[in-house]
């Protein structure tokens, strides 16, 4: 049986919010029994775009991470729900039955991803349904994917083995594998969101004039082991990305022809622009 | 689901399918093309083939149309201000303060028509002033250049001259360097996407956030092009005090100058090229005039100040070595300058002396061979392959009166008196006023030098204001002036006709509720404006022409604008002249028959299907913008309004010399002594900038760029879901606040934390917002998008009150950019910011 997954490319998301807004358009004021009741006008984010700003002015980037329900194959919400109020469809979609789930706030708390929302008024847990009512009606994509202008969101179905091959070929990874929930949402370029960088600019002073250094060799060491090497670009800039946050002390060695080698230490907590390093 | 009917309509941000059940809209989704539609274009570049998505990539605000249609902010019934009595006390001083009561259409239209008659008879037709805003709706028939314009031009009125508010510096400045006055200073963009993909190495976005300004009406259609550029290894540099949305994703380098200093950086770039000889000498000698004088100026031989990177560094607060590296990379690469074209208007041109920066942008690209393969001025939001041979009119294709193209009898406004939009409050409160230039004008360079006076001799002052659609309080400058004006007894009568309650609505005496374009029929093409943005639909990947089907009945007691104006015309005795017996559907059919559509599709089929995709000819031959000029050929692009095209001067630009003018001949001829827009452009310190005296009191520079998630003031306050986007508004303490972005160092100095409610203030007013403490700002600068759809003074009706709606336009200076260039300068604005107490 073919099952659905979302594939989300973090680098291709520009935070336009078409996905978030088209989800609102679909679900606010609309009930789609037996899969969903209307989303309240305010407060719920079935397609929640998280934002991560990295670095310091003027070396800054931002990653945008669309996070819907993960439609987990080992879903904590299913285990938590009473009366089978949350169930897994044959096509991989996790559905909260709005009637059976009434009064079960535990379902919201069960989700480690924070992807389930509580409707105070209707006393029911709610979330993304992958627009199952539209798929049943012949649509090929849920609303969020249909309105995405960059292809950052993709909606793919296949047998388990075919899906496994896509994940391998495209080097996809789930969010928080340590939750062991086996999500059906896979990410590309996730490092842009959950990893960090060390960057900076190399410059020299010559006859009272400061100039940046193109072609300086910058080497990054962790303990005494070499992690990365980089050559500064035409602005004197270097950037080591895909490092682990809170990963402790690093050493940067900067060398350029005819200048003394320079060493600086960085205690890496989050992305950092070390600023201008004068040789 | 089976009971759903599907309609097609068109919005400011793209075409949509509208699903309706039981007379109510269920969903609004972007249009998808199907197999029967024309094929998409293909571009080969870098060993790859590029082709667009087969769907409309709409703007985010298009995705909130359902919320906007059913918004609580809809005007439901005609209303009259409680303490307004046309036969007795009018209480104009209470505009903005008093409540409203519901009245019938009969009463409302009788009052409006009665007042119009009285004012026309007492003072003359010129005593009625009116103006529309841009694009609260979309459609060629039932909208401002059609319905509104036909009505007012028929009866005669004092029109308000718009200013080109989004690209001021290009209109008032760049036209004097390279012409293109017929495009209000923005250059042609034909076929520059393929040119960039094939030939460009580097894109320099100068004050450009194309993902947010989107070629104005092109939705997110061009986003994918910039990803393609990256995939092909082309670098993208961003120069902007704010690390804008496009930069956060695609920026290879962010350079953050102080606002208002961009012209100094531009001069320093030229200095590097001159010092190192890295410019196109052959082009400069054969395609430009005045270069020697420019060279002398840049090298400091004129005034002893060489415009070196070190000189600029102290002004811009950007390291000299960064400016040098920028200049060297720019010269060593085939570089597109992404500035100044449609959608790439930039904050740098909405400043004091923004003319100088815009002119320097043209001159820098002239030094690199503007028009050479891969080298152009291209905002990255227009210019895919385009069938310009297919005729379909935009709303401005027949000048200010679209229906003149189809009516038996055309109408022209008999009143010669005009008011300039930026000076409307002064015109009403302190006449006479004077200004130079026909402002929004594209017939000639000379129009910019016509002196205007209001009131025109022999004419009455304005006594009545008929405001239609949208609001200026969030888009103009120093806008509490407008509130003061509305409260003046000199305005005896004020009407506001709109679909939603906007910021000027509550300043009227009578409110007339119109319906949205989903509640009536119309016809239009996506992003096709016509007029000064000839071929505006070249911001989209496909030309999409839409029969805008009526999806639902007008809500509440609202009526179409066409019906409202027809009924008013009837009362004024010109009903037949106004409609000529046509229903809106009749006009739609006339437009259809005028266009090339009948060659491809029958009216019935078009009406039923709802849209048509214009095919590209099989033998499509690209004609990249300005390539003809670079190669010394006659203009071969479809830039039909270029007055020299197909004449003996076909090889020339629109300047007096026909070349790019380092020293402008048009300025030298008309205003040779003007030191604020001198014939030779240069950096001029701002009259309200980082080094002004006022900065001691208000040390922060406020920039107010075009909003990312809304359009001017539209969609913001009347579309509930939009407020859930944290980059747009943030919900706290029961209210949706506008984010105010500032650097952590500035926040720390003032004890401000992320998420605090803050007060932005200066001598012109104060506005509350919510702090977004971010490294995306450079120090010394505060950022808040203009275009708040909300003006929510804590003391209603008091122009001096603090506003909590986020209407930062009340803080910006009303002063125009320079003595003789009356553009607006909202980004020359000093403020202080503090945490709101309590």
**Residue range B558-596, pLDDT digits in tens:** 999 999 999 999 999 999 999 999 999 999 999 999 999
Token reading at B580: 């000529």
Give the range of the structural domain holding residue B313, as residue numbers without chain letter. Answer: 168-384+648-670
Where does B145-268 show beta strands of DSSP type E? 158-161, 202-206, 235-239, 253-255
Q: What is the CB neighbour count within 10 angstroms for residue B677?
A: 22
Picking from A22, A24, A29, the nearest residue to B29 by CB comes out as A22
Please determine, for residue B505, whether its predicted confidence score (pLDDT) is greater than 60: yes
| CATH number, domain containing residue B323 | 3.40.228.10
Residue B643, in any domain of the structure: no
**Residue A26, min C-alpha distance to chain B (Å):** 6
How big is chain B, counted in residues?
838
Question: Which of B670, B704, B738 is the last residue before a domain boundary?
Answer: B670
Q: Enumerate the CATH 2.60.40.10 domain ranges in chain A, comma separated.
A: 196-278
Q: Using CA atoms, how far apart are residues B626 and B341, in angstroms rounded to an integer? A: 13
**Residue B592, min C-alpha distance to chain A (Å):** 29
Please determine, for residue A119, whether its predicted confidence score (pLDDT) is greater than 90: yes
Active-site position among B190, B395, B709, B785? B395
Percent of chain B residues topping a pLDDT of 90: 95
Query: Is the pTM higher than 0.95?
Result: yes
Exposure string of A222-250, with b = 16+ CB inside 10 Å and e = fewer, is beeeeebebebbbbbbbbbbebeeeeeeb
- Cα end-to-end distance, chain B, whole Å: 51
Active-site position among B37, B135, B283, B468? B135
- Give yes or no for B606 touching A (CB within 8 A): no
**Measured in whole angstroms, how far is the alpha carbon of residue B637 from the centre of its chain?**
24
- Give yes or no for B28 touching A (CB within 8 A): yes
The DSSP line for B720-735 is GGGGGSTTT-EEETTE
B175 and B134 share one domain: no
The overall longest dimension of chain A from CA atoms, in Å, is: 79
B368 and B430 share one domain: no
Average pLDDT, chain A: 97
Token reading at B277: 């000889």
Strand partners, B17: B8, B29
Please determine, for residue B346, whether its predicted confidence score (pLDDT) is greater than 80: no
ipTM of the assembly?
0.97
CATH architecture of A196-278: Sandwich (2.60)
Question: Which of B591, B613, B634 is the last residue before a domain boundary?
Answer: B591
B276 and B367 share one domain: yes
B342 and B455 share one domain: no
Active-site annotation holds for B303 = no
Please determine, for residue B1, whether its predicted confidence score (pLDDT) is greater than 60: no
Q: Using CA atoms, how far apart are residues B757 and B386, in angstroms rounded to an integer? A: 48
B319 vs A contacts (CB less than 8 Å): 203, 210, 212, 276
- Give yes or no for B776 touching A (CB within 8 A): yes
Q: Using CA atoms, how far apart are residues A196 and A268, in angstroms rounded to an integer? A: 9
- Give yes or no for B213 touching A (CB within 8 A): no
B371-409 residue pLDDT tens: 999 999 999 999 999 999 999 999 999 988 999 999 999
B133 and B246 share one domain: no
CA-nearest of B838, B822, B666 to B176 is: B666
**What was the pLDDT predicted at B139?**
95
- Give yes or no for B278 touching A (CB within 8 A): no
B371 and B429 share one domain: no
Cβ within 8 Å, pair B220-A25: no
B148 and B240 share one domain: no
**What was the pLDDT predicted at B331?**
98
Order of strands across the sheet with B376-377? B253-255, B235-239, B202-206, B335-338, B376-377
Q: Is cis: bond before A58, omega within 30 of 0?
A: yes
Please determine, for residue B240, whether its predicted confidence score (pLDDT) is greater than 70: yes
| CATH number, domain containing residue B736 | 2.40.40.20
Cβ within 8 Å, pair A55-B775: yes
10 Å CB burial of residue B704 (0-12, 13-18, 19+) is buried
Helices (H), chain A: 18-27, 76-80, 106-110, 132-136, 143-146, 160-169, 191-194
A133 vs B contacts (CB less than 8 Å): 1
pLDDT band for position B345 (cuts 50, 70, 90):
low
- Give yes or no for B224 touching A (CB within 8 A): yes
Token reading at B131: 């103006």
| CATH number, domain containing residue B557 | 3.40.50.740
Q: Does residue B319 contact residue B256 with C-beta atoms inside 8 Å?
A: no
Minimum mean pLDDT among A39-43, A144-148, B640-644, B736-740: which range?
Answer: A39-43
Q: Does residue B130 contact residue B152 with C-beta atoms inside 8 Å?
A: yes
Percent of chain B residues topping a pLDDT of 70: 99
Picking from B255, B321, B776, the nearest residue to A210 by CB comes out as B321
- Give yes or no for B228 touching A (CB within 8 A): no
Minimum mean pLDDT among B334-348, B561-575, B771-785: which range?
Answer: B334-348
**Measured in whole angstroms, how far is the alpha carbon of residue A139 from the centre of its chain?**
26
Residue B263, in any domain of the structure: yes
Q: Using CA atoms, how far apart are residues A93 and A70, in angstroms rounded to an integer? A: 9
Considering the four listed CATH numbers 3.40.710.10, 3.30.70.20, 3.40.1160.10, 3.40.50.2000, the one that applies to the domain covering A3-193 is 3.30.70.20
B154 and B285 share one domain: no
Residue B566, in any domain of the structure: yes
Percent of chain A residues topping a pLDDT of 70: 100
Token reading at B256: 């953050």
Picking from B55, B321, B726, the nearest residue to A211 by CB comes out as B321
CA-nearest of A172, A175, A155, A180 to A75 is: A180
B725 and B831 share one domain: yes
B138 and B194 share one domain: no
B26-76 residue pLDDT tens: 999 999 999 999 999 999 999 999 999 999 999 999 999 999 999 999 999
Domain count, chain B: 3
**What was the pLDDT predicted at B343?**
62
Active-site position among B37, B159, B165, B240? B165
B199 and B223 share one domain: yes
B58 vs A contacts (CB less than 8 Å): 18, 147, 149
Exposure string of A23-57, with b = 16+ CB inside 10 Å and e = fewer, is bbbbbbbbebeebbbbbbeeebbbbbbeebbbbbb
Q: Using CA atoms, how far apart are residues B752 and B742, in angstroms rounded to an integer? A: 10
- Scan for tokens 């005296």, then name that residue: B693
pLDDT band for position B838 (cuts 50, 70, 90):
low
- Mention every residue, 6+ apart, whose C-beta is less than 8 A from residue B545: B392, B523, B524, B525, B526, B595, B597, B611, B612, B613, B614
Token reading at A185: 């949402």
B379 and B251 share one domain: yes
- Give yes or no for B261 touching A (CB within 8 A): no
Please determine, for residue B349, whether its predicted confidence score (pLDDT) is greater than 80: yes
Question: Which of B573, B591, B609 is the last residue before a domain boundary?
Answer: B591
Active-site annotation holds for B135 = yes
Active-site annotation holds for B466 = no
**What was the pLDDT predicted at B717?**
84
Q: Does residue B173 contact residue B184 with C-beta atoms inside 8 Å?
A: no
- Cα end-to-end distance, chain A, whole Å: 62
Handedness of CA A119, A122, A127, A131 (dihedral sign): negative
Please determine, for residue B629, whether its predicted confidence score (pLDDT) is greater than 70: yes
- Give yes or no for B317 touching A (CB within 8 A): no
Counting one residue from chain A and one from chain B, the pairs whose CB atoms sit within 8 A come to: 145
Residue B201, in any domain of the structure: yes
State which residue of chain A sits closest to B742, comparing Cα positions. Answer: A57
- Give yes or no for B221 touching A (CB within 8 A): yes
A-contacting residues in B 724-743 (Cβ below 8 Å): 724-727, 731, 743
Picking from A16, A28, A212, the nearest residue to B60 by CB comes out as A16
Residue B779, in any domain of the structure: yes
- Give yes or no for B321 touching A (CB within 8 A): yes
Q: Enumerate the CATH 3.30.70.20 domain ranges in chain A, comma separated.
A: 3-193
Collapsing DSSP states into helix, strand and coil, what is residue B642? coil
Picking from B29, B67, B319, the nearest residue to A210 by CB comes out as B319
**What was the pLDDT predicted at A206?**
87
Q: What are phi and psi of B814, to 5 degrees?
A: -80, -15
Strands B202-206 vs B235-239: parallel, antiparallel or unpaired: parallel
Residue B831, in any domain of the structure: yes
Picking from A60, A149, A210, the nearest residue to B223 by CB comes out as A149
Residue B56, in any domain of the structure: no
Residue B626, in any domain of the structure: no
Cβ within 8 Å, pair A211-B329: no
**Residue A210, min C-alpha distance to chain B (Å):** 7
Order of strands across the sheet with A3-9? A153-158, A3-9, A185-188
């Amino acid at each position: 049986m073919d099952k659905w997954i979302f594939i989300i490319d973090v680098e291709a998301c520009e935070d336009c919010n078409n996905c978030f807004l088209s989800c609102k358009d679909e679900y606010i004021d609309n009930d789609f029994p037996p899969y969903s009741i209307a989303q309240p006008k305010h407060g719920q984010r079935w397609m929640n775009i998280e934002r991560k700003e990295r670095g310091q002015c003027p070396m800054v980037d931002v990653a945008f991470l669309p996070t819907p329900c993960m439609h987990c194959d080992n879903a904590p919400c299913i285990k938590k729900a009473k009366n089978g109020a949350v169930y897994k469809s044959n096509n991989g979609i996790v559905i909260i039955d709005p009637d059976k789930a009434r009064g079960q706030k535990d379902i919201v708390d069960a989700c480690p991803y924070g992807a389930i929302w509580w409707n105070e008024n209707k006393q029911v847990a709610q979330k993304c349904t992958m627009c199952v009512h539209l798929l049943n009606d012949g649509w090929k994509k849920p609303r969020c994917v249909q309105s995405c202008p960059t292809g950052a969101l993709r909606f793919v179905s296949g047998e388990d083995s075919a899906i496994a091959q896509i994940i391998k070929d495209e080097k996809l990874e789930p969010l928080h594998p340590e939750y062991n929930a086996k999500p059906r949402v896979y990410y590309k370029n996730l490092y842009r969101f959950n990893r960090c960088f060390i960057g900076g600019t190399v410059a020299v002073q010559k006859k009272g004039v400061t100039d940046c250094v193109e072609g300086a060799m910058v080497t990054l060491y962790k303990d005494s082991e070499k992690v990365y090497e980089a050559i500064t670009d035409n602005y004197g800039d270097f950037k080591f990305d895909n490092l682990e946050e809170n990963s402790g002390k690093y050493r940067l060695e900067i060398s350029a022809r005819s200048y003394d080698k320079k060493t600086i230490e960085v205690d890496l907590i989050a992305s950092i622009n070390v600023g201008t390093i004068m040789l | 689901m089976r009971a759903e009917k599907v309609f097609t309509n068109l919005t400011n941000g793209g075409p949509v399918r509208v699903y309706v059940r039981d007379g109510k809209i269920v969903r609004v989704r972007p249009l998808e093309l199907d197999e029967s539609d024309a094929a998409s274009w293909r571009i080969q570049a870098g060993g790859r083939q590029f082709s667009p998505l087969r769907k409309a990539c709409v703007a985010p605000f298009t995705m909130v149309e359902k919320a906007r249609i059913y918004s609580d902010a809809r005007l439901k019934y005609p209303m009259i201000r409680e303490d307004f009595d046309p036969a007795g006390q009018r209480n104009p001083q209470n505009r903005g303060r008093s409540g409203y009561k519901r009245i019938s259409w009969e009463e409302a239209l009788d009052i409006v028509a009665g007042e119009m008659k009285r004012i026309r008879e007492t003072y003359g037709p010129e005593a009625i002033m009116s103006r529309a805003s841009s694009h609260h709706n979309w459609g060629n028939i039932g909208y401002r250049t059609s319905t509104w314009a036909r009505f007012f031009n028929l009866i005669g009125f004092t029109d308000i001259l718009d200013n080109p508010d989004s690209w001021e510096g290009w209109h008032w400045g760049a036209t004097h360097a390279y012409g293109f006055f017929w495009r209000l200073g923005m250059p042609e963009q034909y076929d520059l996407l393929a040119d960039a993909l094939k030939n460009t190495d580097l894109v320099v976005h100068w004050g450009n956030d194309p993902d947010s300004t989107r070629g104005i009406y092109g939705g997110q259609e061009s986003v994918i092009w910039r990803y393609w550029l990256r995939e092909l290894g082309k670098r993208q540099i961003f120069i902007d005090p704010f690390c804008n949305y496009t930069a956060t994703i695609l920026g290879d380098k962010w350079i953050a100058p102080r606002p208002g200093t961009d012209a100094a950086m531009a001069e320093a770039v030229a200095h590097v090229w001159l010092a190192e000889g890295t410019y196109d000498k052959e082009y400069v000698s054969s395609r430009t005039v005045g270069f020697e004088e420019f060279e002398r100026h840049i090298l400091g031989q004129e005034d002893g100040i060489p415009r070196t990177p070190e000189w600029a560094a102290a002004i811009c607060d950007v390291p000299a070595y960064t400016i040098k590296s920028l200049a060297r990379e720019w010269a060593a690469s085939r570089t597109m300058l992404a500035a100044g074209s449609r959608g790439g208007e930039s904050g740098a041109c909405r400043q004091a002396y923004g003319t100088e920066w815009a002119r320097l942008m043209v001159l820098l690209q002239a030094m690199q061979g503007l028009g050479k393969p891969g080298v152009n001025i291209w905002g990255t939001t227009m210019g895919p392959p385009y069938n310009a041979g297919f005729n379909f009119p935009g709303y401005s294709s027949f000048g200010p009166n679209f229906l003149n193209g189809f009516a038996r009898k055309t109408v022209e406004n008999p009143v010669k008196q005009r008011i300039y939009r930026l000076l409307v409050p002064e015109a009403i409160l302190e006449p006479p006023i004077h200004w130079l230039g026909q402002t929004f004008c594209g017939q000639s360079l000379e129009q910019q030098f016509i002196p205007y006076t209001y009131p025109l001799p022999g004419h009455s002052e304005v006594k009545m204001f008929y405001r239609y659609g949208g609001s200026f309080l969030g888009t103009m400058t120093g806008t509490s002036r407008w509130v003061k004006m509305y409260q003046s007894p000199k305005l005896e009568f004020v009407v506001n006709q709109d679909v939603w309650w906007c910021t000027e609505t509550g300043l009227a005496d009578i409110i007339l509720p119109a319906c949205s374009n989903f509640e009536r029929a119309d016809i239009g093409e996506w992003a096709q404006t016509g007029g000064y943005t000839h071929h505006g639909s070249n911001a989209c990947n496909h030309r999409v022409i839409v029969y805008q089907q009526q999806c639902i009945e007008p809500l509440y007691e609202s009526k179409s604008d066409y019906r409202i104006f027809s009924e008013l015309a009837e009362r004024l005795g010109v009903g037949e002249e106004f409609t000529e017996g046509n229903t809106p559907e009749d006009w739609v059919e006339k437009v259809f028959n005028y266009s090339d559509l009948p060659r491809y599709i029958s009216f019935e089929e078009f009406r039923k299907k709802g849209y048509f995709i214009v095919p590209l000819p099989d033998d499509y031959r690209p004609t990249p913008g300005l390539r003809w000029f670079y190669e010394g050929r006659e203009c071969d692009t479809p830039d039909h309004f270029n007055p020299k095209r197909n004449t003996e001067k076909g090889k020339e630009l629109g300047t007096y010399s026909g070349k790019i003018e380092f020293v402008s001949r048009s300025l030298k001829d008309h205003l040779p002594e003007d030191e604020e827009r001198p014939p030779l452009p240069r950096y001029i310190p701002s009259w309200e900038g980082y080094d002004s005296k006022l900065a001691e009191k208000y040390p922060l520079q406020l920039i107010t760029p075009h909003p990312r998630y809304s359009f001017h003031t539209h969609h913001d306050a009347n579309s509930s879901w939009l407020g859930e986007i944290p980059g747009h508004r943030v919900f706290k303490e029961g209210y949706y606040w506008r984010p105010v972005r500032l650097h952590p160092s500035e926040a720390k100095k003032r004890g401000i934390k992320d998420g605090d409610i803050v007060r932005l203030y200066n001598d012109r007013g104060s506005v509350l917002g919510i702090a977004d403490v971010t490294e995306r700002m450079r120090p010394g600068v505060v950022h808040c998008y203009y275009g708040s759809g909300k003006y929510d003074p804590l003391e209603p009706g008091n122009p001096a009150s603090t506003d909590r709606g986020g209407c930062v336009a009340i803080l910006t200076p009303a002063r125009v950019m320079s003595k003789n260039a009356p553009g607006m300068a909202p980004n020359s604005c000093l403020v202080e910011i503090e945490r709101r107490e309590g």
